[in-house]
Each structure stands twice: as structure tokens, then as C-alpha cells.
Amino acid sequence: MQALLQCSRKIDWLSSQIGKYVVWLILASVVISGVNAVVRKVLSTSSNAFLEVQWYLFSASFLLAAGYTLLQGEHVKVDVIASRLSRRTQIWIDIFGLLFFLAPMCLAVLWYGQPFFENAYRSGEMSNNAGGLIRWPVYLMMPLGFGLLLLQGGSELIKRIAFLQGLIEDPGAKKAQQTSEQALAESIRRLAEAGKGQRGSQSV
């Protein structure tokens, strides 16, 4: 079990790193959307490539961060009944859900999504819209995102079994830590301060 827990920690680290950087895709999507709106209103022109890259980025952020969302326990849970049960019973419900709902769904998407991506990659499938983008990068997000989600699901399963054996603390307990949004805001603040400092040194 200790070897499995070590593997679980590595998967958690991977999901945390992905969550830390994927949040920048959301910022990029917002910036591109804003620029596209300004160009459309001011210059009365637009580009399908700019429109499509927005949902490419949204798809990437949504799918790639699915494992991170599971790690943080931020996925949607309807626990009207489960919240009244003991914590060990809730853990058993989590185990059942991971084994019989999450894992089969991820495997099904991987089974059907991988050939979908491969066909688009080999054929060089392009968007039907004029000036649109090539399609395989966004198709890649399906097997990649659900593969990462399946990995994190395995990590959550390991942690819950270890908890039932008394080897670790409750894996579902919320820990006070900086969110990805807060980390992004902090990174932007540091970049802004570094830019101000660099301009100040150049003026001197």
C-alpha cells in the first residue's frame, strides 16, 4: 500500500501542476475574446480563427483541469443523503462511484476518443468555417483530459482505501491553500511589479 500511496502522491503532484498552469488558458481566452470584440466593433472585421481559438482554449482548460478539480474536491456532488451518513460510509460511496461510474466513463471516452483524434490527425481535418483552424489539437483534449481524470480517479481510490485502513488522514478534508485563481492573480501582480521595476531602472 505504501508504494501505491507514493504513486498517488505523484499523480496528485501532476494534477496540481496542471491546474496551476491551465488557469492561464482561461486568461488567454478572455484576452483573445476581448481583443476580438474590440476589433469587430472598431474595424468592422473579424476572424473565424480568433473565434475558434477561444473555444479551443476553453475546451483545453475544462478538460485538462478535470483531474485537478477532482483532486480539490470541487466537482459537483449531490450529497443530500450522503451528508447524513458516517464518514466511512461516505468513503465507501466514493469508492463505488470511482469504480463503477468515473472509471467506466473515462475508459469509454478513451476508447472512442482516441481513434477520433487519430483520424483527424492523419487526415489533417480542418474547420468548415472560412479561415478556421485545424481540428486535431482540440480533439486531442478528449483522450488527454479523460486520461488525466482517470489517473486522478485512481489516486483518489488509493487514498480512500488507505483511509479505511487507517494509514492516512481523511482525503476529502478541505485544506486551506491558495487556489489556482489566487495563484494566477499573484503571478500577474508579480509580473506587473517586475515590469514597473524594469522601466524604473531604465529611466535612471
pTM: 0.81
CA distance 157 to 147: 15
pLDDT for the residue 148: 96
pLDDT for the residue 48: 83
pLDDT for the residue 190: 77
pLDDT for the residue 84: 85
Those residues of the chain that have pLDDT short of 70 are: 174-185, 195, 197-204
Rg (CA), the chain: 21
DSSP string, 30-72: HHHHHHHHHHHHHHS---HHHHHHHHHHHHHHHHHTHHHHHHH
pLDDT for the residue 122: 93
